[in-house]
Amino acid sequence: MESQKKREGFSSGLAVFFATLSSAVGLGNIWKFPYLIGSNGGGAFLLLYLVCILFVGLPIMISEFYIGRKTRKNVIGAITELKGSTGWKSIGVLGIFAAYLILFFYSSVAGWVYSYVFKALKGDFKAVNADTVKIVFSNTTIGPMPPILWQIVVIAVVSIIIILGVEKGIERVTKTLMPLLFALIIICDIRAITLPGASDGFKFLFNVDFSKLTKDAVLVALGLSFFKLSLGMGTMVTYSSYFTEDNNLIKTSFKVALSDTLVSLLAGIAIFPAVFSFGMQPEAGPGLLFMTIPLVFSQIPFGSFLLVAFFLLSSIAATTAMMSMLEVPIAYYTEEKGITRKKAVIINAIIIGVVGILATLSADSHSLFGNIKVFGKGFFDLFDYISSNILMPLGGLLIALFVGYKNSKRDVQLQLSNKGILNNVAIINIYYFILRYITPLLLLIIFLSSTGIVKF
């Protein structure tokens, strides 16, 4: 019987750290966060973001760790064990649903990133200009065949790692790739800070300007603080179900949140000095990653090498984040339905591939399905909107309420102090207070504003 086999897990504290960080570090660190810091008041926004991490990100992360490590089960099994088959199970159901939706479109973008590593290696960006980078990007996304094939490659890579299992797959891969990601980003940083005119990029990122901290900036920072850390959809419940028994959960959450922020800053340092030194305007999103970066990097000495490094590190970020999304349904199917890991991954890969193609073929208005609209959105945008704006904030809110009000404080204390071995009563009390009285309120605000129910 599947359930009687010894459950897999990470082998050390270091493995726990790299695996968890590899989920948090994703495309968000590269095309979203650095730009948001720069355009919302630099250092001032960074401070605000850290405050949001304290009041939203960390409390939810610690709560997910509590659920996962206490029960050592997949997200639906875990909630059922804690509260039986009640409505709270919907946390798990919504989480798995959100994981699928993100996988559908994230695999598409990851495919573009993979194809850019290949293009950079071939030297396709050697002589690009502002017009030709646009053409390269449209060819990459509109396809139809190349983006579909790259998406299949991505899904295959992620699936193979997940089939290998928690220790031989997730642990081994993240322990190798996370240090490599750091090394690559630092190489890009060294080149960037030695460019003439680099200081404007630093000013953009770090200049402390409190006047730019508008109410929109606050909403952005709040949403980011938990999207960034892969919260609200069962990912951290699932990963923490593999944590070692002696791991200090609160410490791990701080280390992961700070390292993730550091990766975003290092990415910003790799990008913006170069952008400014060519007199270009910074922007966010796919345009920054797929057009501005190839354009600027192609003009600096050692740029072709740097482009390969940059897209390689972006592929690592995208791949390891996707692994942690796929593990959510896989843990569920293997544990609750008794399907073997290999079979569960193959079935899921096919589902993700088939539905994911809908996202790929609707990513651009010129794509094959570019003008099919559901609720006024193409499939790509719809999957993104439902998962990021509705399911994740809702999942986060439910998790805060579930752990804050539906579990005994004693159980939470026992788990977070490793049954009293750690001497951390004070910090647990602070966490518990924030979780009950502050986090749900802030998550409600995020949810109401991101769904457009209330305009703040």
Nearer to ligand TRP, 28 or 143 (CB): 28
Distance CA 353, CA 404 (A): 38
- Where are the extended beta strands (E) located within 134-276? none
- In three-state form (DSSP H/G/I as H, E/B as E, the rest C), the secondary structure along 360-389 is HCCCCCCCCCCCCCECCECHHHHHHHHHHH
- Smallest gap, in angstroms, from Cβ of residue 23 to ligand TRP? 5
Q: How near is the Cβ of 391 to ligand TRP at its closest, in Å?
A: 10
Strands (E), 128-218: none
Q: How far apart are the first and last CA of the chain?
A: 53
CA distances, 141 to each of 263, 293, 370 (Å): 27, 17, 11
Q: How far is the CB of 49 from ligand TRP (least distance, A)?
A: 13
Nearest distance from C-beta of residue 410 to ligand TRP, angstroms: 30
How far apart are the C-alpha atoms of 395 and 398, rounded to whole Å? 5
Report CA Rg, the chain.
21
Selected binder of ligand TRP within 37, 53, 185, 233 (CB under 6 A): 233
Site for ligand TRP in 321-340 (CB under 6 A): 321, 324-325
Report the residue number, 16 or 136, with the smaller CB distance to ligand TRP. 16
To the nearest whole angstrom, how small is the minimum distance from the Cβ of residue 321 to ligand TRP? 4
Stretch in the footprint of ligand TRP (CB under 6 A) among 227-235, 275-283, 306-314, 361-369: 227-235
Measured from the CB atom, the residue of 227 and 242 that comes closer to ligand TRP is: 227
Which C-beta is closer to ligand TRP: that of 159 or that of 298? 159
CB nearer to ligand TRP: pick between 64 and 364: 64
The burial of 362, by beta-carbon neighbours within 10 Å (0-12 exposed, 13-18 middle, 19 or more buried), is given as buried
- Least Cα distance to 45 among 202, 210, 203 occurs for 210
Site for ligand TRP in 29-48 (CB under 6 A): 29
Which residue, 235 or 298, has its beta carbon nearer to ligand TRP?
235
Q: Is 227 in the site for ligand TRP (CB under 6 A)?
A: yes
Least distance CB 324 / ligand TRP (angstroms): 5
Q: Closest approach of Cβ 25 to ligand TRP, in Å?
A: 7
- Quick one: DSSP state of residue 181? H
Q: Considering only residues 13-32, where is the footprint of ligand TRP by CB under 6 A? A: 23-24, 26-29
Minimum gap (Å) between residue 42 Cβ and ligand TRP: 20
- Alpha carbon distance 315, 333 (integer Å): 27
For ligand TRP, which is the closer residue by CB, 23 or 334? 23
Tokens 């591939």 appear where?
353
**What's the CA gap between 453 and 191, in Å, rounded?**
45
Token reading at 124: 């396709």
- Omega of the bond leading into 144 within 30 degrees of 0 (cis): yes
Using CB under 6 A, list all residues that contact ligand TRP: 23-24, 26-29, 227-228, 230, 233, 235, 321, 324-325
